[in-house]
Structure 1
Amino acid sequence: MCAKKKSSKGWISNVIFIIILGVFFFTPVGTGVKVWLNRLLAMSPNIEKVEDQKKVNYENWQLVDENGQTFDFDRVKGKVVIINFWATWCPPCIAEKPSFQELYDDYKNKVVFLFVTTDSPDKVKAFKEKNNSTLPVYYEKSAAPAVLFSESIPASYVINKKGNIVVRKFRAADWNSSKFRVMLDDLLK
């Protein structure tokens, strides 16, 4: 009889555990927890070694903004560029957006920011309204340069004035850290 009670308690605790996992992975509650964990674990991005820096050729890449206007890549010549590939459904992407927003608010007139997504304009608009975001969002009309390819998001790149990738980050980061701001200020000199 005692063994039967123990086995039924084990079965009940397993079912409860599976339900908790389901809530975590398949509901908005789980998304909030994942976003919070990503923010907690986000680190400041590091600069690439000079020998690892690759040049970006924007020649065949076409982007359009939220109003359907084609982005003119002549605007990036001689400027520092931050490119972030993201999605509205991606917890690490959501986690880093507040730090990007703060950075954008302070550097939007000094740095070219390109937040690239494949989400629908309606989803992006709803996301931006919900999060009070003013980040400039772009949609690809053609494939990004091969040096910007990543199989995961978020994928972020900082390109210096010479067109070289000096930072590449493939998970959530704290883009508003004092360490990153010092690095960005050095790139702007």
Structure 2
Amino acid sequence: MAKKWIAGILIIFLMAIAIVQALDKKEEPTESEEAVAQGVKEGAKAPDFELKTLTGETVKLSSLKGKKVMLNFWATWCGPCKAEMPAMEQLYKEADDNVAILGVNIDPQLDVKGFVLENGITFPILLDEKDEVNTTYQIISIPTTFFIDSNGIIQDKVIGAMPHDAMVGYIEKLN
């Protein structure tokens, strides 16, 4: 009987040690984890990411520091996304070198290249193949667009399709 008591106490003691050690293990969060914890919102630093374009080039958001960035999340099946693409294309053609227009596609398993060709899109389309950027930016509705200033700070978040003049207005507000 005493052996059972000793074994029970030993098991409880070992479990307590394991729990304390598990709670003690605190790793430093990554920049993306911090951004998610704080929430991707206006006034926050835009979480960095690196994605490939349709042509296989790599685009890293932090490499665009110093530029105004329009970061748009969209899908090929999304009606409002399709509706705003011509306005984004027009803005891309009008914009100077201090503005970057990026379209992050969240359904890369579909025919994104065909969609881009059919609609005459020339601005960079990034493929979120692992659904990581979509998750980091907490996208729940598309299109969703972030306007990021030249210091990498999110100034505006717009959910839903926008006309050209609204896009221009948000870009002009950025520093």
Asked which structure has the greater CA Rg, the reply is 2
- TM-score by length of structure 1 reads 0.62
Output the CA distance in 2 between the equivalents of 1:120 and 1:73.
19
Deviates more, 1:144-153 or 1:63-72: 144-153
Output the CA distance in 1 between the equivalents of 2:141 and 2:147.
17
Deviates more, 1:162-171 or 1:139-148: 139-148
Indicate whether 1:112 and 2:105 are aligned. no
Change over 3 Å in CA distance of 1:108–1:137 after alignment to 2 = farther
Give the secondary structure class of the aligned counterpart of 1:120: coil
Change over 3 Å in CA distance of 1:167–1:129 after alignment to 2 = same
The equivalences for 1:42-121 within 5 A come to: 52-58=42-48, 61-107=49-95, 109-120=97-108
Counterpart AA for 1:79: K
Output the CA distance in 1 between the equivalents of 2:160 and 2:79.
10
Counterpart AA for 1:170: I
The equivalences for 1:7-18 within 5 A come to: none
Output the CA distance in 2 between the equivalents of 1:145 and 1:127.
20
Greater RCO between the two (CA within 8 Å, min separation 6)? 1
Q: Aligned Cα RMSD in Å? A: 2.4
Partner of 1:129: 117
Indicate whether 1:168 and 2:157 are aligned. yes
Shift of 1:57: 2.9
Shift of 1:52: 4.5
8 Å contact from structure 2 (residues 101, 124) kept in 1? yes
Output the CA distance in 2 between the equivalents of 1:80 and 1:160.
5
**Unaligned 5+ runs, structure 2:** 1-40
Shift of 1:107: 0.9
Shift of 1:72: 3.2
- TM-score by length of structure 2 reads 0.66
Corresponding residue pairs, total? 134
Shift of 1:73: 3.3
Change over 3 Å in CA distance of 1:54–1:70 after alignment to 2 = same
Shift of 1:75: 2.4
8 Å contact from structure 2 (residues 66, 98) kept in 1? no
Indicate whether 1:151 and 2:140 are aligned. yes
Change over 3 Å in CA distance of 1:182–1:92 after alignment to 2 = closer
**Unaligned 5+ runs, structure 1:** 1-50
